[in-house]
Amino acid sequence: MGVPGKPLLRGTEPAARGRRLVVGGWALRLAGAALGLPGWLVFSSGFHSDHLSEVTQLAWWLRGLGGLVALLAGLAVFGAGRLLVVRGKRYAAEVIDSFDALPDSRYVLYLRPFSNDSEMASLNTDIQSGGAQPPNLFFLSGLTHEEALVRRFGRLGRVIAVGRPGEHLPPPGAVRGQLPLDDWRATVSGLIAGAHVVLMSVGPGPGTVWEFTEAVRLLPPSRLVLVVYSDAVTYQCFRDAVAVEYERRSATEAPAPGASWPPLPALPDYPPPARPHRPRWEVLLNGRKRLRWDFVLKGVVVFAPDWKAGFTRFDPTTLRLPNPLTVTRLVRRELRPIMDELGTLAARE
């Protein structure tokens, strides 16, 4: 964390501008799809067996070229529309003036390394796996990675996050507010203590490491969820840094009122891919021998009442034939028991 800089942009004029940009972006998305999908049909139809005999004719080449141009132009317009929608959402994003009123409401506190914000503000491209076809690109989600996270966990409460220092236009997703100029740790500690659930993105930075140790000090285990967007190396650095910081704090600082410092939870290892290489028949049907992509959200870590941790990995190598439908089903299936358990949590007193 850090001290805030320029205040977050707010007001009716930026919000109105944001809504106009969103409408314009959606219009471009629809126009791009309307242009590109027929273009793909025209282009691909030339390779059907009943048209291959026409390959020596000029009409075949002109038809294919026209379809390809329409497809590429449609993709460009569609992509511009996606970016414009995100820009509009930034202008229209909800911000709060003060965290003081939050203890009286039910909220999910989203804590993360500020260095993750640029990646989390980017648009989802998960379906671009080895077997993706150009038409699938027109069905890419219009949500940023942070919006997707907020949508998944927003049913538990209003998702709140601390604005990055110097941030003028907040990214779409969690509701942002700025920390006070003085002791930010006291404010964050109060937010952690009052949260219905704390959703923490792991990272080895000192602010995130301190926030994890503070969450362990203050929260019941069932109210802490770690979301892992990092690779195995970064996750291991987080585990090592947490061990050092927890030992320091538990030896020098007082525990939560009426309690003692619990033992440091043993964070589980980062699960390796279930199938690093794909069988030959899958390669023939769906592209590459080795999957060269991964979900941005690698998995989540949740804690049992005794602080025993479990790592649920969203492993793309378990998918036989990756496509938008199977990707969505995988994440939904793996998250369902976790969300059901979080949904049973009683309101904070």
pLDDT 10s digits, 314-348 = 887 777 765 556 767 888 899 999 999 999 999 87
> Around Cβ 300, how many Cβ atoms within 10 Å?
20
* Main-chain phi, psi angles of 260, to 5 degrees: -125, 165
> Around Cβ 175, how many Cβ atoms within 10 Å?
18
Q: How confident is the model at residue 286 (pLDDT cuts 50, 70, 90)?
A: low
Annotate the chain with three-state secondary structure.
CCCCCCCCCCCHHHHHHHHHHHHHHHHHHHHHHHHHHHHHHHHHHCCCCCCHHHCCCHHHHHHHHHHHHHHHHHHHHHHHHHHHHHHHHHHHCCECCCCCCHHHCCEEEEECCHHHHHHHCCECCCCCCCCCCHHHHHHCCCCEHHHHHHHHHHHHCEEEEECCCCCCCCCCCCEEECCCCCCHHHHHHHHHHHCCEEEEECCCCHHHHHHHHHHHHHCCHHHEEEEECCCHHHHHHHHHHHHHHHHHHHHHCCCCCCCCCCCCCCCCCCCCCCCCCCCHHHHHHHCCCCCCCCCCCCEEEEECCCCCEEEEECCHHHCCCCCHHHHHHHHHHHHHHHHHHHHCCCCCC
Residue 239: the pLDDT is 96
Task: Please state which of the ranges 24-28, 164-168, 206-210, 309-313 shows the lowest mean pLDDT.
Answer: 164-168
In percent, the amount of the chain with pLDDT more than 90 equals 50
Q: How confident is the model at residue 2 (pLDDT cuts 50, 70, 90)?
A: very low
Residue 101: the pLDDT is 73
pLDDT digits 0-9 by tens, 146-159: 999 999 999 999 99
Residue 5: the pLDDT is 45
Average pLDDT for 266-283: 75
Task: Please state which of the ranges 150-154, 176-180, 238-242 shows the lowest mean pLDDT.
Answer: 176-180
Task: Please state which of the ranges 147-161, 244-258, 299-313 shows the lowest mean pLDDT.
Answer: 244-258
Task: Please state which of the ranges 20-34, 175-189, 272-286, 302-316 shows the lowest mean pLDDT.
Answer: 272-286
Q: How confident is the model at residue 96 (pLDDT cuts 50, 70, 90)?
A: confident
Rounded CA-CA distance 233/228 in Å is: 12
Task: Classify residue 99 as exposed, middle or buried by CB count within 10 Å of its CB (0-12, 13-18, 19+).
Answer: buried
Q: To the nearest whole number, what is the mean pLDDT of the chain?
A: 84
pLDDT digits 0-9 by tens, 212-226: 999 999 999 999 999
Q: Are 228 and 301 in contact (CB under 8 A)?
A: yes
Task: Classify residue 25 as exposed, middle or buried by CB count within 10 Å of its CB (0-12, 13-18, 19+).
Answer: buried
Say if residue 24's pLDDT is above 70: yes
Q: How confident is the model at residue 285 (pLDDT cuts 50, 70, 90)?
A: low
Among 43, 62, 49, 232, CA closest to 134: 43
For the chain, the structural domain boundaries read 1-92, 94-343
Residue 292: the pLDDT is 47
Q: Measured on CA atoms in the order 101, 103, 109, 115, is the torsion positive or negative? A: positive
Residue 275: the pLDDT is 73
* Main-chain phi, psi angles of 201, to 5 degrees: -85, 125
Rounded CA-CA distance 18/91 in Å is: 5
Q: Please enumerate in sequence order all residues whose Cβ is within 8 A of that of 337, keeping only pairs 6 or more positions apart, or say none.
A: none
Rounded CA-CA distance 110/169 in Å is: 18
Residue type, 238: F
In percent, the amount of the chain with pLDDT more than 70 equals 84
Average pLDDT for 26-32: 95
Rounded CA-CA distance 110/175 in Å is: 9
Average pLDDT for 300-322: 87
Mean pLDDT is highest, among 12-21, 37-46, 79-88, for 79-88
Residue 248: the pLDDT is 95
Residue 328: the pLDDT is 73
Task: Please state which of the ranges 46-50, 79-83, 200-204, 326-330 shows the lowest mean pLDDT.
Answer: 46-50
pLDDT digits 0-9 by tens, 108-132: 999 999 989 888 988 877 554 444 5
Say if residue 11's pLDDT is above 70: no
Q: How confident is the model at residue 137 (pLDDT cuts 50, 70, 90)?
A: confident
